[in-house]
Amino acid sequence: MREINQRRYVLAGILTAMVFVLGLLLGFVIEGKRVELIQDASDEARVAISSLQLQYAFIDQLSQVGNCAEFMNAFDKNVENLETARIKLSNYQSQATVNRREFDLLYRNYITSQVQYLLLSMKAKKLCDSDVVNVQYFFSKDCKTCDDQSFILTFLKQKFNQRLLIFGFDTSFDKEPLLNLMVRTYNVTSFPTVIIEDNKYAGFMSKDNITSTICGLYEAAPDYCSQ
Amino acid sequence: MFTLLEVILFVVYIITLYYTVFWLIAFVDYAPEQPSRQRRLPKVSVIVPAHNEELTLEKTCRSVLALDYPRELLELIIVNDGSTDKTLKIANSIRRSSKRTVKVLSQENMGKWKAMNAGIAASSGEFVACLDADSTIRNDALGKMLPYFSDPEMAVVLPMLYVDSPKNLLQKVQWHEYVINMFYRKVAGFLNCIHVAPGPFSLYRKSVLLEIGGFREGFKTEDLEICMRLQSRHYKIMQTTETEAYTEAPGTLGELYKQRKRWNLGSTLNILSYRGMLFNRKYGDFGVFQLPIIFLATFLASVLLVVTAYLSVLKPLSEKFIQLRLINFDIISYIVNYHPHFSLLDINFFRSFVSISFLCISISVLVMAHRAIKRKVVSHGLLAAVVFMFWYYLFLGYVRLVIIKDLLLGRKNKW
């Protein structure tokens, strides 16, 4: 029978556990930083929506339609920033361990901001008579073709630029009643579902299909429509 | 929260981390054995088994004949194992020209293990060294190695082993691998956990070899099988750092693949043959720690390779391909309009932490191993060190993956 130095085995276990705990602690620190980052972006989005609502009221009440172009430009930029932050938030939320509640609250905040933007865009479109197409995109994390649909919509947003506004709604998040209300309102039963202006398209839409649908809605179609 | 792959990666990570930490603790505890001085010099027989070794045999034998050891106490036995080239002619020429005792035996091609046993039967030494015909030894080897046999339980003593004059990148990469292996074996010797006595100048106590019945075929890895047998009988095997042997390393990827496949498959099959020792406290650290890890290494390396290849290469590439197909491969538009919104916080923390901690541990081990032999990590160029660190183990992981496939398909080891 040979001797076994148990001290080495125990010490190795303790040191391994220490590295593991160090990793966990660093993970918590990073998660805290992520919450801070998203919180900042959320605060910015809140300020931006208030500013846009005031700009809209200003243009509406004082009939300043000449300022519409600038307003729509700022609007588009803010919607894009909001969507970028939402993607980050969704990514952080899926990796969250201790701050799940904070992330859930932030996500609710984003959904309400998105809906505010959506409603404002509908009103602004009428007021400014802007040749912009609104797209609402409902997706779910369990849906197999949703990532592909997201990729196509992101690609088209880059192509149409300010002439296309996209509002993405992740229906797997069930903690915001407003989201359920929207799903019921548009009678969304399968994913992905794309609502282009008032028309609902359930199921995956190819790039060509979605492009021709969007292009058909412009009064003056962008160059990309003729390519 | 975690995907299945991340859980697998996590388990592999914890096992590997524990294993590495254990070895580092053993390294800190390491206290080199101080052998007592010999009262008398014993007779030593050096056996050189040779099969078609006309290019290297002379150099190998010259290094034996140049050993700093009394003429009457050293004999060289060259065993020609059915060579079809000029090996036998060169062996006879060495015998004729040497002032030392040189015996030349010749047999049909029956394998190295039978050649070794023939050499042992013909030997008159109290100690027997095996020297592969493509290796050489430093002339102080016997003087440095023999004193360790003052311990009656000592069965084998191994010298440090280096790649002889590495020329191309692959050989330089292997030079680093050998340095790491020596470092590891030094600590393994301290724990009496050595599981292989490589061909280049492992020095055996002949009475022990005879007692255990000499070499066996051992799935074409007789040097591994004999260590398993010695460990099963509680003999000691130790690695000295005081002298060096040099061996030729494969110069092409194909040769290296063949060699490593044979070694790793032999290792796995031999452990399976001695599975009674696995997790058996009777065999100390060797049974409880070393054997399970060597056995698991094949699977751990394969899992790591598959997971890394999938997560880092296959998955992103296939996703990108599918995405580009969705936009009719309008790659130019995609690149022109691509605006990544990236921040450091977006990095997957778990994978990054695992990668960075492994990298830190690997660099530390690499530096410590080279410092132990007073060589710089970049002594054979930075490229060789980088390739060794980042790609070489992926290659070994691939070899192990093939081994698992062969084991599942029931294929046997080939030369």
What is the mean pLDDT of each successive set of 10 residues along chain A, which is 227 residues long? 88 94 89 89 88 88 79 84 83 80 89 90 86 93 91 91 90 91 93 94 95 93 84
Residues A103 and A88 in one domain: yes
Domain boundary among the residues A78, A109, A130 is at A130
Domain annotation covers residue B67: yes
Of B37 and B260, the one with more pLDDT: B260
The C-alpha atoms of residue A16 and residue B354 are separated, in whole angstroms, by 12
Domain annotation covers residue A2: no
Residues of A within an 8 Å Cβ radius of B: 1-5, 8-9, 11-13, 15-16, 19-20, 23, 26-27, 30-31, 33-34, 37, 84, 87-88, 91-92, 94-97, 148, 151-152, 155, 158-159, 206-208
Helix (H) or strand (E) holding B136: strand B135-137
Which residue, A59, A80, A83, A61, is CA-closest to A71?
A59
Residues A198 and A154 in one domain: yes
Domain span at residue A80? 7-130
Question: Least CB-CB distance to A97: which of B1, B26, B337?
Answer: B1
The C-alpha atoms of residue B178 and residue B248 are separated, in whole angstroms, by 12
Enter the DSSP assignment of A163: G
Q: Is the pLDDT of residue B415 over 50?
A: no
Q: Is the pLDDT of residue B132 over 50?
A: yes
Domain boundary among the residues A76, A101, A130 is at A130
Domain boundary among the residues A130, A146, A169 is at A130
**B62 and B100 in contact (C-beta within 8 Å)?**
no
Q: Give, in order, the Cα–Cα distances in Å from B225 to each of B72, B75, B267, B288.
A: 32, 26, 8, 18
* A129–chain B nearest CA distance, Å: 27
Q: In what order do the strands lie in the sheet with B236-247?
A: B101-107, B74-81, B44-50, B127-130, B202-205, B154-163, B236-247, B135-137
The C-alpha atoms of residue B286 and residue B98 are separated, in whole angstroms, by 43
The C-alpha atoms of residue A149 and residue A143 are separated, in whole angstroms, by 10
Domain annotation covers residue B205: yes
Domain annotation covers residue A188: yes
Tens-digit pLDDT profile for residues B51-98: 999 999 999 999 999 999 999 999 999 999 999 999 999 999 999 999
CATH number, domain containing residue A192 = 3.40.30.10
Residues A114 and A186 in one domain: no
The C-alpha atoms of residue A69 and residue A71 are separated, in whole angstroms, by 5
CB-CB under 8 Å, B25 with A91: no
The C-alpha atoms of residue B264 and residue B202 are separated, in whole angstroms, by 20
Domain span at residue B136? 44-252
CATH number, domain containing residue B113 = 3.90.550.10
Residues A174 and A205 in one domain: yes
* A16–chain B nearest CA distance, Å: 6
Range among B116-125, B182-191, B294-303 rated most confident = B116-125
**B346 neighbourhood in chain A, CB within 8 Å:** 88, 91
Determine the residue of chain A that is closest to B356 in CA distance: A23
CB-CB under 8 Å, B18 with A16: yes
Residues A89 and A169 in one domain: no
pLDDT of A174 reads: 87
Residues A162 and A223 in one domain: yes
Tens-digit pLDDT profile for residues B138-173: 999 999 999 999 999 999 999 999 999 999 999 999
Domain annotation covers residue B14: no
Number of domains in chain B: 1
pLDDT of B411 reads: 66
At A132, the amino acid letter reads: V
The C-alpha atoms of residue B5 and residue B362 are separated, in whole angstroms, by 23
DSSP string, B262-304: HHHHHHHHHHHHTGGGTT-GGGHHIIIIIHHHHHHHHHHHHHH
Residues A124 and A199 in one domain: no
Domain annotation covers residue B137: yes
* A74–chain B nearest CA distance, Å: 18
Number of domains in chain A: 2
Residues A136 and A124 in one domain: no
Domain annotation covers residue B146: yes
**B288 neighbourhood in chain A, CB within 8 Å:** 4
Determine the residue of chain A that is closest to B15 in CA distance: A16
Residues A22 and A121 in one domain: yes
Question: Least CB-CB distance to B349: which of A9, A30, A148?
Answer: A30
Average pLDDT, chain B: 91
**B327 neighbourhood in chain A, CB within 8 Å:** 151-152, 155, 207
ipTM of the complex: 0.82
Residues A145 and A181 in one domain: yes
pLDDT of A76 reads: 84
The C-alpha atoms of residue B38 and residue B36 are separated, in whole angstroms, by 6
Residues A70 and A111 in one domain: yes
Domain annotation covers residue A1: no
Tens-digit pLDDT profile for residues B310-367: 888 898 899 889 989 999 898 888 888 777 777 778 787 877 888 888 888 889 989 9
* A76–chain B nearest CA distance, Å: 16
Report pTM: 0.79
Residues A183 and A104 in one domain: no
CATH number, domain containing residue A77 = 1.20.58
